[in-house]
Structure 1
Amino acid sequence: MLQVKNISKNFKKNQVLNNISFQIYPGQIVHIAGRNGSGKSTLFKIITHLIKPTSGTITLDSNVKIGALIENPGFIEYESALTNLKFLANLNNAFDLSTVSNLMESFYLNPNDNSPVSKYSIGMRQKIGIIQAIMEDQNLILLDEPTRGLDPESIEQFVDLLNKLRNQNKSIIIASHDLLPDLKYDATYRLEKGLLVHE
């Protein structure tokens, strides 16, 4: 599914990633821990080709479709959540109202709420970010601090969703400070001083 091989990234004289290698297969969930500024978001941006590595290679199977929540998700602030999700999905002609509505309702969001996203809490915005990462049937899903701002009930719902995605043979990489309870990981790593350590 995905092979990360000898990835390094320098920003001028600052080395953020140092010879990172790991792989993930269909149906696996991988966790990468690390404090703020450890390079988790940079690694995700390299995997999604938003930035180029200084060295190393990213290899993806031909059928891989990436969905990603990286750092703070950006939205059209004066539009509703549903309008934002429709806009994002339509970039790939992949909007499905039923799928998106069901995902919103599973996270206790009302698809018919016309309130602008600018009025949403951090947790509500995070839920929209999670939805956009999976609503187009993506099979490699990258989630950067996905539970930030979520209440315990929403975290429980989020874990249930991840288990369903795993059962659909989708691969998930979660970058966060802590492991989620009630979620089985196939591999756990820690990113420290640019190095990825298998735990």
Structure 2
Amino acid sequence: MIRLYNVLKDSRYLSDAAEETELLEAPENDKETELLEAPENDKDGEPEENAGLNKAIDTYRKLIEKKDGAEGLSEKEQEALENRIKEIETREVVEKVEVHEPVEIPCEKNKITIGPPTLTRFEKARIMGARALQLSLGAPPFIPIPKTARISLDISMEELEQRVIPITIRRVLPNGDFQNIPIDYFQK
């Protein structure tokens, strides 16, 4: 390893780059650096409270005025625009999102509350694929093997139709709440 390093050092791959190049120093208080820095303060020297909201309102106003074209806004339209902007300004700004702990929604009396009452095509495909893999790896079937079955997928399809696979489907809501549904709760 050391020999390889010495060989590469002698060639140009690992030459001392610091000796060959000169370092550039950053200019101090240059006009260009002042222009690149983002203004954090407004005219009074205090940070602007709702800079994002003000920018959004200005953009909204420009879009509405541009939509009407060269004609401009009538007094009614201008008044409606100002009322809409006041409504937007009075909205509550959510700054902190509370953490939601996922909760299980119970299956009461075979009632499915999340999603359709039948298996979706994606759930069917996932169940049949997983069960076919199990069967092909030597798992015992839950039904007598039909004479028409040629591959493990045929057996898993028949097991799914008879609802004998001991599987539970978990359906999840966007907020994290979920429902565990046994396969025999689904309609055929």
TM-score tier, shorter chain, comes to: under 0.3
TM normalised by structure 2 equals 0.24
TM normalised by structure 1 equals 0.23
- Tell me: higher relative CO, structure 1 or 2? Use CA pairs within 8 A at least 6 residues apart: 1
**Between Structure 1 and Structure 2, which shows a larger proportion of strand residues?**
1
Q: Whose Rg is larger?
A: 2
**Between Structure 1 and Structure 2, which shows a larger proportion of helix residues?**
2
